């Protein structure tokens, strides 16, 4: 006869092992980058332009470029994403069209990031003649993060109890007034979480900006939205693979700044979500 409990112990050991095989390397990655990247961080590194073919100086233009791109992406994606979420949560019925929209969102989320790059190149850079510019890059990133914003906002809207809507409607408010004054305010933390996660994703992606905006080496700040710009993720790619003899400290420092930027945004999102869940009384 087999020993069910011994089998169970062995099985649980392997499950724990699998979990550790994921979580321990993640911890290591963060620790390595913090340990080797943090010493590189100082005022000059953060606020100076790159010098000597990116072997010295700082990464300021890349930081600014990423901030511009992310801002542009969110200006484009947030209104569309939020209204799309309102449609799905408040107006749509269980029919073929809704099913198609949901399928489209899933597919949009699954399109490889480099394909977004191609699309941005074909539509914005070549067809609309925006050229490689902050505008083209922002729009490309904006479409890429649309599914994140729609999904998170929809969940937030749907978690507002239907009794809230019924009360408002029964008091004579119209459907839009109900959404605007009752549903939306109660869904703001969830929408904010989704928006910040979208920001983090847009800040970290490289492939969509490769051919739509990213400048290899541009030691100045962009002048307008039709200007090319450096960006942090592309800069990290460039100094780790394309430029020989870059100081290791500079590479780790850049990786640290990018990772810190993305993780801080994610942590803020998680904190908002947790606080909101605790406060929620319905």
93 binds another protein (CB under 8 A): no
**Strand residues in the chain grouped as ranges (E):** 50-51, 56-57
For residue 52, report the phi and psi dihedrals to the nearest 5 degrees.
Answer: 50, 55
CB-nearer residue toward another protein: 26 or 43: 26
Is 100 a binder of another protein (CB under 8 A)? yes
**Closer CB to another protein, residue 43 or residue 280?**
280
- Does 190 help bind another protein (rule: CB under 8 A)? no
Restricting to residues 117-136, which ones interact with another protein according to CB under 8 A? 117-119, 121-123, 126-127
Of 43 and 185, the one with the shorter C-beta distance to another protein is: 185
Interface with another protein in residues 226-245 (CB under 8 A): 233-234, 236-237, 240-241
Label each residue of 90-156 as H, E or C. HHCCCCHHHHHHHHHHHHHHHCCHHHHHHHHHHHHHHHCCCCCCHHHHHHHHHHHHHHHHHHHHHHH
Question: Is residue 4 close enough to count as binding another protein by CB under 8 A?
Answer: yes
Q: Is 11 in the site for another protein (CB under 8 A)?
A: yes
114 binds another protein (CB under 8 A): yes
Q: Which is nearer to another protein, 46 or 114 (CB)?
A: 114
> What residues pair up with 57 in beta bridges, in sequence order?
50
DSSP states of 66-83: HHHHHHHHHHHHHHHHHH
Contact characters 31-50, another protein, x per CB under 8 A? -xx-----------------
Residue 86 CB: number of other CB atoms within 10 A?
21
């Amino acid at each position: 006869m087999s020993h069910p409990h011994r089998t169970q112990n062995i099985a649980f050991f392997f499950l724990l092992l699998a979990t550790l095989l994921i979580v321990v390397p993640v911890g290591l990655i963060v620790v390595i980058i913090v340990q080797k990247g943090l010493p590189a961080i100082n005022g000059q590194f953060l606020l100076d332009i790159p010098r000597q073919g990116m072997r010295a100086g700082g990464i300021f233009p890349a930081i600014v470029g990423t901030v511009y791109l992310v801002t542009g992406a969110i200006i484009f994606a947030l209104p569309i994403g939020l209204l799309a979420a309102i449609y799905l949560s408040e107006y749509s019925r269980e029919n073929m069209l809704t099913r198609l929209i949901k399928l489209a969102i899933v597919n949009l989320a699954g399109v490889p990031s480099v394909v977004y790059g191609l699309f941005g190149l074909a539509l914005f850079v070549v067809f609309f003649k925006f050229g490689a510019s902050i505008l083209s890059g922002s729009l490309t990133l904006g479409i890429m993060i649309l599914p994140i914003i729609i999904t998170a906002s929809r969940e937030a809207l749907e978690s507002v109890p239907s009794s809230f809507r019924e009360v408002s409607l029964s008091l004579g408010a119209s459907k839009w007034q109900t959404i605007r004054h009752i549903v939306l305010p109660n869904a703001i933390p969830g929408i904010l979480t989704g928006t910040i996660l979208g920001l983090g994703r847009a800040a970290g992606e490289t492939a969509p900006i490769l051919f739509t905006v990213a400048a290899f080496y541009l030691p100045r700040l962009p002048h307008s939205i039709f200007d090319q710009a450096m960006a942090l993720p592309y800069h990290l790619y460039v100094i780790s693979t394309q430029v020989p003899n870059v100081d290791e400290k500079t590479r780790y420092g850049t990786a640290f700044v990018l990772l810190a930027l993305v993780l801080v945004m994610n942590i803020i999102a998680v904190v908002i979500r947790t606080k909101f869940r605790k406060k929620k009384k319905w």
